[in-house]
Amino acid sequence: MVILLLVPYVAFAHSAVEPVPRNNEPKWVERYELLNKQAAEVGEKAQVIFIGDSITEAWEKEGREVWAKYYAPRHALNLGIGGDKTQHVLWRLDHGNIDGLKPKVAVLMIGTNNVSAEATCVAQVADGVRAVVQKT
């Protein structure tokens, strides 16, 4: 007799899917609080939001001209913080970064910093990205 048991895919808990703040880093806390303030100010006017790490945050520096030309007219909001991993973005999404927003589009760039982290495999990074997508 063969018994077939079908079990849905469940990501086992690991660091990439567990929301964690970076409260011990003053620059991170400052940026996080600024993003919450900007989200509250823009509110439902934000049509496009960019969520991610330093690659996303760089639109405010190296990508400033492109941002001003193509994204600012669309009331885009940059929610990038350098050094963030999926677990940090998950925490931010639970603690104000998207409160009051109803964008038409969310652009996500996260997971790069997870790859370089110790004890994080590709499957765990994918789980973390998937968790962020599900929250947005």
Contacts (Cβ under 8 Å, ≥6 apart) of 124: 14, 15, 16, 17, 114
The reply to whether 119 falls in a domain is yes
Question: What CATH number did the domain enclosing 100 receive?
Answer: 3.40.50.1110
The reply to whether 90 falls in a domain is yes
Q: What is the pLDDT of residues 53-76, one digit of tens each?
A: 999 999 999 999 999 999 999 999
At 45, the amino acid letter reads: K
- Work out whether strand 76-80 and strand 48-52 pair parallel, antiparallel, or are unpaired: parallel
The reply to whether 4 falls in a domain is no
The reply to whether 88 falls in a domain is yes
The reply to whether 5 falls in a domain is no
Q: What is the pLDDT of residues 71-115, one digit of tens each?
A: 999 999 999 999 999 999 999 999 988 999 999 999 999 999 988
When pLDDT is averaged across residues 24-38 and rounded to a whole number, the result is: 96
Note down the domain range covering 31. 20-135
pLDDT at position 118: 63
Residue with tokens 């997508």: 133
**If you average pLDDT over every residue of the chain, what do you get?**
88
Number of domains in the chain: 1
pLDDT at position 117: 64
The reply to whether 131 falls in a domain is yes
